[in-house]
Structure 1
Amino acid sequence: MKHDDRAHDVADSGGEAQAESTFAALAAPLVDEALSHNASIHADASPESLHQLRVALRRLRSLWWAYGPLLDRQENTRQRALYRFLADAAGKTRDWDILLELLAGEKNETNENGEEGATCVTPACLREARERALAASRETLVNADIRNVLHGALASTSKELNTAPERHALQKFAAKRVRAAEKSLRKRMRTASRAKRADYDLLHDVRKAGKKVRYLIELFGPVLDDVGQDQTLKRLKKLQQCFGELNDVTASIALLRENTSLFADETEAHAALVFLKERRKACRREAVRLLREA
C-alpha cells in the first residue's frame, strides 16, 4: 500500500513545516525498519534482530502517542495497543534470549573465580524452550499480517492528519509534546525516589517514561531547540541502560520461576535463581542511586 509522501516537510511554498504533513516522513522509515527486522527473524532470528524489531515498534508507539492530540482518541489507542501487542510477540522470544545470556554470564563469573568444571553451556531444556517461543513469535507475527497492518496504519493516520481542518506548526507542536513527556518523566522520578523502599513497578514506570522522552527527542531532534539536547540524551541513555538491566533481570527471574520444572536438577534451578536475585539487588541499588542523583 502506497502513501502520499509529497510535501511532508513544508506546509506550502515558503511556508513553515506542519506537524500534520510531516507525520508520514517520520513514520515511514520506522515502518520500513520494523518490516526489515520482521523479515530478518523469519530468516535468522538472532537476539539482535528481535531486539531491534521491538525498538522500532516502540518508536512507532511513541510517535503515535506524540500525535495523539491531533488524532481520534479511540483509533489512536487501538493503534498503540496493536504496536504493543506486536512488540510483546517478539518480546516473548527476546525474554528467553536475555535469560540465557544472564545464565551464561553466571557461568563466566564462575570460570573467572577459577572453579573447575564450570562451562558456558546453558541447559538444553532452556534453549529448547527458546526455540518453542520463537516458533510462537513467528506464528503470531505472520498471522498478524504485520506488513499490511503497518502500511494500513500509516496510510489511514496520514489521511486523517492531512484532511484535518486545523494545522499546527511542527516546531511548536514537537516542543510541546516533548515537554509533556519530560513532565511525565519528572513526575515518575519524584514518585519513585520518594518511595520508602525500592519499588520495582515505580522504577519500571521511570524506565518507560524515559524511553518515550528519548525516542521523541530523537524523532523530532532536527526541529527542536538543540540547547542541552545532547546532554539530555546522554543522561537518558545512562538511566535507560541501568534501568534496562534491572528490568531484564527481573523479567528473567519471573520467567525462570515459571519454568523451573524444565530443569532435571532442582539444585541447578535454585542456583540460577539465587544468582539472578543477587544481580537484581545490585541493579536495583544502582537504579535508586542514579535516580536520587538525577
Structure 2
Amino acid sequence: MTTQGILYLVATPIGNLGDMTPRALEVLNDVDLIAAEDTRHSGKLLQHFGVRTPCQAYHEHNERQLCDTLVARLQAGASIALISDAGTPLVSDPGYHLVQAARAAGLQVVPVPGASALIAALSASGLPSDRFVFEGFLPAKAAARRQRLAALADDTRTLIFYESTHRIENSLADMRDVFGIHRRAVIARELTKRFETIHGDALGALLVWVQGDPDQRKGECVILVRGAGKPETGEADAEVQRLLRILMAELPLKQAAALAARISGQKKNAVYRLALALSTGE
C-alpha cells in the first residue's frame, strides 16, 4: 500500500535571510518537490541555502490547472512544499485551491511557521493587537477602494492592509477622507530589510510625510489603521464640538455634521446628534 505524501506550507523570509528557520530548511531538503510562486525568485533563496530539491512554478495564473496534478502526486506518495515569494503561503499569495483540494482528498497539510509581514508589522506598530482584521490589498480602482474603506469605517479592530508602492499615496488619501484626518495609522515598510521604516501618525500627517519623501514610496508596505472609537452614547469630544461650531456658522446643520464627522473620524449619527443639541442650546 502506497503511503500518501504530505503537503507542507513553508514560510520563507520577507527580507532578512537570517529569518529562515532550521525546520523550513529541513523540510525543503526532504520533500520530493517544491511548488514555488516564482521559481526564479525562489531559486536564488534555495541556492543560497544549498537546497537542490526540484521546483515547479505554482502561481495565480496556473494554480487551478496544476492543482489536480499536484494532488495526484501527493496521493501517489510524493511530499510537496509550497512556498511563496516571501512570508507565509496563502497570505495574499497563491495556494488556497491546492490546500482546499488536498484537505478534501483527505491528505495531510502541515504548516511550517515563519515570517509574516502583517504579524511583524502589527507587533511593532503600537496599535491595539488584541483584535485585528487583515484586508490584504485594497481594490486598484478608486471607487471600489473607497467603497471598501467605507465598509470598514466603523470597525473597532485594528485594520491591516498590504499596498503597492505606486498606489500608497492614493490609498492613504482615501483612508484620510473616509476615516478622518485624525485617525491614527502606521506605515511599516521594507520590514527586516536594510531600510526598514515603521512610522506612525494621524492619517492626514502620514500622507503629507509620504508625499514629502520619495523613499517612503519604495519597497513593500504594510498599512495599519487604528480601529474606530467605541460608539458614543453621549457627547462627542471637545474637538468635534469646536469643529461643529465653526462649520455650523457657515453651513446648514446636516452638511456641517457630515463634514465634521468626515474630518474627525467620529460616527456620523453621533456627530449629527451633537449638532442638533448645539443648535438647540441643550
Q: Same fold judged by TM-score > 0.5?
A: no
Q: Higher strand fraction: Structure 1 or Structure 2?
A: 2
Larger radius of gyration: 2
Q: Higher helix fraction: Structure 1 or Structure 2?
A: 1
